[in-house]
Amino acid sequence: MEIRSAQKLAWENKTLKGFNTTDVALEFGLLTAEVGEAFTAWRKGLPDLGEELADVFLYLTALAEMNGVDLDSEVARKIEKNTRRTYARNEHGAQIRTSDT
């Protein structure tokens, strides 16, 4: 499934079920909670990690839709941009970007 299709289907489901479609701050809070649930599932080795990650994705697509962002295009553009960037480790071992491309 393409991101664009998932974003559209997720939004249709939110609208149909009467979930939040206008309060951006609330949606960011709910996304944060879902990230926490995914982390807990990973940390505890729970079998629902995939489902929790899917929830994170769905809240993210809702935020994109609320803000008129075509997440499919933005992800493609960001991946392409990241492929051109270069990195090197600093004296502490952290990866530091060495190009702005």
Q: With bands split at pLDDT 50, 70 and 90, how would you rate the model's confidence at 85?
A: very high
Q: What is the pLDDT averaged over residues 62-87?
A: 96
| pTM for the predicted model, two decimal places | 0.88
**Per-residue model confidence (pLDDT) at position 25:** 98
pLDDT in tens, 18-60: 999 999 999 999 999 999 999 999 999 999 999 999 999 999 9
DSSP type of residue 32? H
Q: What is the CATH number of the domain that holds 44?
A: 1.10.287.1080
100 pLDDT above the threshold of 90: no
- The Cα 89–Cα 18 span in angstroms is 48
Number of domains, the chain:
1
